Structure 1
Amino acid sequence: MKQREWKTPHTFVIIFFVVVLAGLLTYFVPMGMFETEEVTYDNQGQEDTRTVLIPETFEYMTDEAGEPATEGVSLFEPFGGAGFLNYMFEGLVSGDKWGSAVGVVAFILIIGGAFGIIMRTKAIDQGIFAIIDKTKGREALLIPVMFFFFSLGGAVFGMGEEAIAFAIILIPLVIALGYDAITGVMITYVATQIGFATSWMNPFGVAIAQGVSDVPVLSGAPFRIAMWAVFTAVGIIYTMWYANKVRKNPEASYSIKSNEYFRKHSQNQELNGKFTIGDSLVVMTLGLGIVWIIWGVVQDAYFIPEIATQFFTIGLTAGIIGVLFKLNDMTVNDIAESFSEGAQQLLPAALVVGMAKGIVIILGGDAADEGSVLNTILYQAGGLVDNMPEVLSASFILLFQSGINFFVVSGSGQAALTMPLIAPLSDIAGVTRQVAVLGFQLGDGLTNIIVPTSAALMGTLGAARVDWGTWFRFIFKFQLILFGLALIFVFIAVAINFS
């Protein structure tokens, strides 16, 4: 009898059992809360304000006897309540247009739809074959060049969700060059998160963490720039090693099914081999649109609502060009149908965002001034920092932030929630606040590469048609390398009293 091969559970299944665990915790861990305050800090000449918790104000919610109270989650709650079976709906409709979950869900679906239109024109496919024809013998340069620029994007302006769109374009290209879908995810999303984690100026991570920790914003840049260079080099070397192995032996790929899908899709296309004026206009629209997005993010701090609208505009313009120039025999109806099909491809990733948010809702939410199990976990874990030697305290901060990132994936949200607690405790432990910020940014950014609660990761994997279980099997070893490297830099920072 043939032994049945063990198959990695679907992402939805994994998150469901995490929700079950979160539900069980509510029966055993009492709820706690903090008082909050507004803090103001200077960020590159602009005054920013964040609401942060006050560490010494933590208190448990109590029962009638004055004892810490637990409030086990019910199976179902009517009238908009948060019961166990409500986690999906409540997660999907939580938040606002500026972030998780509803804003990110809309962002992912609009990006998918916009690129559905762009890909329907076949202009990108024509461009891919034109690039392949002109870069024969120099294909290997694509990996280090793309990885470098995406890492720089993550470091400079906190690039993350935007990688989804680039993955849709670049994954078919790297597969056509003989690599695989995993390589495409590495040079886009993974590169951005390495840059995000090691940044010296990321406005959504290190800048906020420094601001709320009373550390001069953008200080310590030389150390972080050197760290970014090392991490980026390691990422490039690992990606090139894997990509070359796949090119020599396609069976070594972790994403064989995805690769076959993209190759089959490419083979089934009716391409005339000519890069027409219409094709060039679509590509030019995409290029100018990306410049517009980068300008908006850097100059005016555009975020999810603006970027989603920009991608929609790019997709709509490409569709109109496709109709006018009859690219791939496009009609007006094809614009609508391809938008729907593109959004449908990223629907699973959008659903994961809601499910992941449901975990936090079951734990009572992530608001510091409202009773929740998450606040209690935060307080108890934070209290361990001041009972350890300096190096262990710094390492624990890295571990702690990595764990919290499973529940609070937003870099800015996590900074506002954890740094007001960790920063003063690091003083007691003899660790500089700059080291505490370093532990935060590395723990936050690097785990975005692996946690299934990351909307940007799941969106990119959706674009690559790679399920999270397959991704986990591939990325686990690289994640250990990154974590080991992060510990080395934390040790160095402690040794030189980084401040």
Structure 2
Amino acid sequence: MILAEKKKHEFPTAFTVLFIILIMAAVLTYIVPSGRFSRLTYDDVAREFVVTDQNNEVKTLPATQSVLDDFKIQLSLSKFEDGTIKKPIAIPGTYVQIKQQPQGILEVIQAPVTGVMDSVDIMIFVLILGGIIGLVNKVGAFDAGMGALSKKTKGKEFILVILVFTLTTLGGTTFGLAEETIAFYPILMPIFLISGFDAITCIAAIYMGSSIGTMFSTVNPFSVVIASNAAGISFTNGLVFRIIILVIGSIITLAYMYWYANKVKKDPKNSFVYEEEESIREHFLKDYNPDVVTEFTVRRKLIMILFSLAFIVLVWGVALNGWWFGEMSALFLGVAIVMMILSGLSEKEAVNTFVAGAADLIGVVLTIGLARAINIVMDNGMISDTLLYYSIDMISGMNGSLFAIAQLGVFSFLGFFIPSSSGLAVLTMPIMAPLADSVGLSRDVVINAYNWGQGLMAFITPTGLILVTLEMAGTTFNKWLKYIMPLMIIMGIYAAVGLILGVYIL
């Protein structure tokens, strides 16, 4: 009798990983006490403060500096009046435990549905993008463009990595480029593959570019600017120091990426996604044949130019005009309509191609909704404020370099439970920043610890974008962990050294 070959163990899909974490988050709501800080919001119409206590009881107070002083909120009234501080501020010293809010089986099952509804704007954007990718592939514009590009980059392939990484890093450090990078993978993955790189290198160039940029933010309004405002200091404080840290951090990351890419180039079996390489190439290069020259016709050139211009307009809209997914979706829908006209396809064929392209990304959009579900369970369980309270209690009394490093650890920890950079900043800074005063440190140290700690956790946190990214790329979380953990350790040490230097410099 011939024994059947033992089935090889496979790492769970992004859906299973997220659902496991969802269950773990629900379990935490039974273990971690529920609690809340009172919160203060400025009503710019009535020009008064609205205070919501732990029982959701609301009272209004005059919008005066003395009210802020009484609450020990060390911020200028002008920060509220000019719209700098818009989100609710946690009031120091008001934390109390409340009745436990455990999230049971029903809540866990409902959370993904609510997560999908909460994330519908991102999902629409991704589906429209999928439709456009389908159209571009159908008319052969990608094949023709990649063929032309591969000839020009022959022998200089790593320049592509440097270029993509640099552009996404600049986007991250200046305007918080993050979710928008979802649009880049279907375009850049085929180019990286035909240039001899594996999928991990493409993910790293895009994801780590935006992650390093947002981690070492210089003028990002959604992190360093709002955190500085919430801490009561100017974001220009320590700007030169942050720029230097960003440049060195980028060089370290590029060096790591070059080391890995070179190792894979010497032997493709060194790739962490070697076993998935065939399926990945089938997905992204299914119609590409390097032996067949696809003519780069005027029609195809026009479609690729239109496609490229859409991303330039997207960056312009997000960076300078406050666009979000509604505007971005409208832009790409308009581009899709123009592409259908230019494609030369019949009306039925063009529409069916668009729908089929959107269908290819259904798995991605469902991942987005499931990731949001984890945050919903933790928010409804009222445990985020408790974790912040315990973290404050843990680092109180520390001083100097130990305080700075402890803050890095605290913000890394909190970054898992509160993935929103602006939300974490407004919640924590009115409480954390004064702790720096008590130990004789500049508040800039706390700002850097917040940026670098949360940014470091973003490398791997499943509640962020990484699992959505991996789903788009067709690989699994364990492969990414193998790649990123050495770099994460390096960057963690680098951030700690930077904070210690900041203690003496800032």
- With normalisation by structure 1, the TM-score equals 0.86
1:244 counterpart SS class: helix
The aligned amino acid for 2:385 is N
Contact 2:387–2:414 at 8 Å: present in 1 too?
no
CA distance 1:224–1:285, shift in 2 (3 Å)? same
Determine which of 213, 216, 233 is the counterpart of 1:195: 213
Match of 1:162 among 152, 177, 180: 180
**Are residues 1:321 and 2:331 paired?**
no
* Change in CA separation of 1:448 and 1:315 when aligned onto 2, cut-off 3 Å: farther
Structure-2 change in CA distance of 1:189 and 1:292 (3 Å): same
Q: Distance in 2 between matches of 1:338 and 1:403?
A: 44
The 3-state SS of whatever aligns with 1:162 is helix
Q: What whole-Å deviation, never above 9, does each CA across 1:367-389 have from its counterpart, x for those lacking one?
A: xxxx8122111211122221323
Deviation at 1:441, TM superposition (A): 0.8
User: For the structure 1 residues 348 and 415, does the alpha-carbon distance in structure 2 shift closer, same or farther, using more than 3 Å as the test?
Assistant: farther
Count residues in correspondence.
Answer: 465
Q: Secondary structure at the match of 2:38?
A: strand
Shift of 1:450: 1.3
Supply the AA of the counterpart residue of 2:173: A
SS at match of 2:417: coil
Q: Write the distance in 1 (CA, Å) between the matches of 2:88 and 2:323.
A: 21
Question: What is the CA–CA distance in structure 2 between the aligned matches of 1:419 and 1:122, rounded to whole Å?
Answer: 51
Secondary structure in structure 2 of the residue aligned to 1:166: helix
Map 1:328-343 onto structure 2 (within 5 A).
330-343=345-358
3-state SS of 2:285 partner: helix
Question: In the alignment, what sits opposite 1:485?
Answer: 494
Q: 1:198 to 1:20 in 2, by over 3 A?
A: same
CA contact (8 A) 1:176 1:263 kept: no
After superposition, the Cα gap between the structure-2 partners of 1:331 and 1:237, relative to the gap in structure 1 and judged at 3 Å, is: farther
1:38 is matched with 41
Letter in 2 for 1:87: A
Deviations, residues 391-412 of structure 1 (Å, cap 9, x unaligned): 2221122122222222222212
Distance 1:240 1:266 in 2: 24
Cα distance in 2 for residues equivalent to 1:26 and 1:104: 28
1:392 and 1:452, CA in 2 relative to 1: closer, same or farther beyond 3 A? Answer: same
Q: 1:439 Cα shift?
A: 0.8
In the TM superposition, 1:91-490 aligns within 5 A as 91-94=115-118, 101-264=119-282, 266=285, 268-269=287-288, 272-323=293-344, 330-365=345-380, 372-455=382-465, 457-490=466-499
State the Cα deviation string for residues 121-142 of structure 1 (Å, max 9, x = none). Answer: 3212211110111222222322
Structure 1 residue 438 displacement after superposition: 0.5
Could you say if the C-alpha distance between residues 341 and 390 of structure 1 is closer, same or farther in structure 2, counting changes exceeding 3 Å? farther
Structure 1 residue 249 displacement after superposition:
1.1
Q: 1:359 to 1:299 in 2, by over 3 A?
A: closer
Give, in angstroms, the shift of residue 182 of structure 1.
Answer: 0.8
AA of the residue aligned to 1:182: I
Contact 1:175 1:262 in 2 (8 A): no
Change (3 A) 1:32 1:183: same
Contact 1:26–1:373 at 8 Å: present in 2 too?
yes
User: Please, which runs of 5 or more residues in structure 2 have no aligned partner?
Assistant: 43-76
- Structure 1 counterpart of 2:255, one-letter code: I
Separation in 1, partners of 2:237, 2:363? 40
**C-alpha deviation, 1:41, in angstroms:** 6.4
- Asked whether the equivalents of residues 215 and 451 of structure 2 are also in contact (C-alpha less than 8 Å), the reply is yes
Q: CA RMSD in A?
A: 2.5
- The answer to whether residue 59 in structure 2 is matched with residue 56 in structure 1 is no
Q: Contact 2:224/2:447 (CA < 8 Å) preserved in 1?
A: yes
State the 1:91 CA deviation: 2.3
Identical pairs, percent:
29
Answering whether residue 15 of structure 2 is matched by residue 22 of structure 1, we say no
Q: CA deviation at 1:216?
A: 0.6
State the partner residue of 1:9.
Answer: 12
Q: Residues 332 and 393 from structure 1, CA distance in 2 versus in 1: closer, same or farther, beyond 3 angstroms?
A: farther
Q: Which stretch of structure 1 is more off in the superposition, 197-206 or 409-418? A: 409-418
SS in 2 for 1:38: strand
